[in-house]
Amino acid sequence: MSNTSSPIERTLILVKPDGVRRGLVGEVISRIESKGYNVAALRLLTADKDLLATHYAEHRGEAFYEPLIEFMSSGPIVAMIAEGQRVIEGFRSLAGATDPTLALPGSIRGDLARNQGTKVVQNIVHGSDSVESAQREIKIFFPNL
């Protein structure tokens, strides 16, 4: 059994327009930092449809794609890079299930998100789902890093 620690990973986290509108950015950052992860970069922006089309390219053609682009461009978002050991897996656990109704209490979505009855699940946050996705998504939102 090896005693070496996991390498430091980076992930992209987005606080979606519903989270920004509801004033939950500080709460999300607090939970990330309380878990022991480092916020290495942060920016507030209103994402245009071209940026979002690049980010959500794998979903093009899905029924939820256009409503998702509309929702994500409906107001400011906060994009951040978080770093830490197993941060990708750790943040996805911290975020909770995509469906807020199924997200466990204690998770960001379980505590803060609610089903809105809209075409798109408005669930406060996005987190990269793999090292490859994180690298691709970070380049989209932080092209100079």
- Over the chain (145 residues), the average pLDDT of each successive run of 10 is 73 98 98 98 97 96 93 97 98 95 94 79 94 98 94
Domain that holds residue 57: 8-87+126-141
Instruction: Judge whether 98 lies within some domain.
Output: no
pLDDT of residue 119: 66
Q: What are phi and psi of 85, to 5 degrees?
A: -70, 125
Number of structural domains, the chain? 1
pLDDT of residue 115: 76
pLDDT of residue 7: 84
Please identify which of the residues 126, 127, 137, 138 carries the catalytic annotation. Answer: 126
pLDDT of residue 90: 97
Whose structure tokens read 């299930």? 97
Whose structure tokens read 């998504």? 137
Instruction: Judge whether 100 lies within some domain.
Output: no
| Cβ atoms 12, 128 nearer than 8 A | yes
Instruction: Judge whether 74 lies within some domain.
Output: yes
pLDDT of residue 54: 97
CB-based burial, 96-114: b 16+ in 10 Å, e otherwise: beeebeebeeebbbbbbbe
Instruction: Judge whether 3 lies within some domain.
Output: no
Residue 55 designated active-site: no
Question: How many Cβ atoms from other residues are within 10 Å of residue 58's Cβ?
Answer: 10
Residue 45 sits in a domain of what CATH number? 3.30.70.141
Instruction: Judge whether 96 lies within some domain.
Output: no
pLDDT of residue 111: 96
